[in-house]
Each structure stands twice: as structure tokens, then as C-alpha cells.
Amino acid sequence: MTFSARGALCAAALALVAAAAGAGPAHADGGDPAPWSAAPSAGGGTGPAKDGRPSFYAEGTPGAVLRDTLSVTNPGPKPRTITLRGADAGNTGSGAFSVTPAKGTPKDTGAWLSFAKRQVKVPPRTRAEVPFTLTVPTNAMPGDHPGAIVASGGGRTVGVRVDLRVDGPTLSALTVERVDVDTEAGSISYDLVNRGNTVLTPKLAVHADGVLGTLLDRPARTLPVELLPGRRVTLTEPWADAPALDSVDVELTATAAGGARDTATASARFVPWAAVAGGGALLLAAAGGAVHLVRRRGRRRTEEPGSGDGAEQVGATRELARAGTGDER
């Protein structure tokens, strides 16, 4: 089995493991000049090499037993008792790297880790080397299986990432789903789903067209997301200069290494409802006033002497009266 450096990004992702694992923030305690630390073993010397591995990386076939060593360094004047456990990796809702909490039960890489000692007592100004094995089940699925070694002690929790790749066919696949334009907030929400078996760092391009032309054209940029196989995250794209009045078609295109690519669209209508409501009230008021004026004019015409049907009836009666008396004038 081979373990090699994965890169500084892996170390940065594990910086938040303490919070994800349900522990308090990492801190030095008891007045120690420096806190204890945990890292992949870097060989001889009194401490891990400054340019040593930031994480563990392993490759193996199903059924393989992989071996490596964790270094726990205590530079302080007091002894430290450190507890070790294996954890599965996951994604938070926003796409950040997370691990199973201490009360959780790992089912993947975290469950496949075994330590020579679960608890290690490290004397002052000393480094302890803790061997461990990673046993790949015979039915393990090919692809990436990220996990972590979590070390806790003295009010401090440290995570060291373990990236395992099981030999076999790999597939990089990504989908964009549930695209929604929030016309009030001026934002675009969407889901990214890793449909393959490799860890993806996606890029996103955004395009929007209105009635009169292009409104938004953002080229592909890398998202602050490390999307694990089978995981879904919900993200939001801000749109501060969204139109006040327009009919818009939005297109999101996500890509990632290995040929992963997908496009999804959504439509929305931006309408200044406050202005529309105000204009509607004015129109209703004007219409009401016009109806009221027509009604008043109708009443006045009816009430005037000699107007309308009543005047015609009085005139006819007078003519009949004259005809009956022979009075001609």
C-alpha cells in the first residue's frame, strides 16, 4: 500500500473538524506554551517534519490491509492522554467537509480503521508514534472513501484526514437540480449532487437572459465545495443587480474533473409589485370616480321638470284634454 501527500487543501479542510465532531474549539490549556498536535508520521527526529504530509492517502484493492503511523506530539511541560477514533467524512449543507460526531457510528472508512492503542499517554516534550491499519472490506465499492482520524484530549480535538481510493472503475458525474430564482431576495438557489464515486471540486458558470438581452454572464469559477460521492448540497448564487422588471431565463452549468458536467435552467418574472399595487389603486379610484359622476348626472336628468318620459306623458294628457273640449289654441 502507498501513502503520499494529498496537498494543503486537505489540511485546511480538517481545520474545522473539532466543531464538526461536536467538540469545543481547539485551544492550549494549563498554560502550555504550545498545544499538542496530531499528524501523519514523517520519520525520524523529535517532531513531524514541517513539510510533512498534511493528510493520509491510501490506495488498495478490496480485502487489502493498509498500514501507516500517526504522530502525536506534546511540546508542553505536562503529560497528555490522547484518545483516537476513526470517523467517516461527509458534507455539511453548504458543502463544507465534516466528520461523523463522537456519538455517531462510522460505516465506511472510519469503521475500517484500527489503532494499536485507542488511548495514548504522551510525556512532556515527547512524540508518540501510533501504528494503525485500514482494512478494506472485500465488498467495498470502487472509488473514493474519505474519512478521518480524530484525536481528543485536554479540551482539544484534532482531525487528520484519510483519503482512501478503492481500486476499480471510477466515474465522475455531477447534476444540477432544483434551480430557483428568488425575485425578492435577488438570488439563485440550486442543488449540486455527486452522482459518481469520486470526490469532486465543482465549478459553476451562470448565464441569464432577459427580454432585451443578456443580464448575467459569469464564467466558470471554482466553488468552495468538496463534494463527496453520493452527497447533495444546496447553494445560493447572489444576484445583487437583478432587474426590477423583466422576464428572465437562467442557466447554470456545473463542471468538475473527470468530465463531469451538467446544465439546468429556470425562468422567473421580476415585477415591482409595490408599484403595480399602487398603480392599480389609482386606476380603481379613477374608475370609481367616473362611475359616481355618471350616476349623479343620470339622477339630475331624471329630476329636471319636462325631461324624460314623465314630461312626454304630461304633454300627451294636455293634448287629449284640449281635443275633448274643442278648445283650440
Query: What's the pLDDT score for residue 272?
Result: 85
Query: What's the pLDDT score for residue 297?
Result: 55
Query: What's the pLDDT score for residue 316?
Result: 44
Amino acid present at 42: A
Question: 104 — phi, psi (to 5°)?
Answer: -80, 170
Order the strands of the 65-74 sheet from edge to edge. Answer: 37-40, 65-74, 126-135, 113-115
**pTM of the predicted model, to two decimals?**
0.72
Query: What's the pLDDT score for residue 10?
Result: 43
The whole-angstrom separation of Cα 175 and Cα 185 is 25
Query: What's the pLDDT score for residue 7?
Result: 39
Q: For every one of its 329 residues, what pLDDT tens digit does the chain have, with 9 covering 90 and above?
A: 444 433 333 443 444 344 344 433 333 344 555 789 999 998 544 444 455 788 999 999 999 999 999 999 999 999 999 999 999 999 998 888 999 898 889 999 999 999 999 999 999 999 999 999 999 999 999 999 999 999 999 999 999 999 999 999 999 999 999 999 999 999 999 999 999 999 999 999 999 999 999 999 999 999 999 999 999 999 999 999 999 999 999 999 999 999 999 999 999 999 986 655 544 444 444 445 444 444 455 555 555 555 445 444 444 444 444 444 444 44
Neighbours of 118 (CB within 10 A): 11
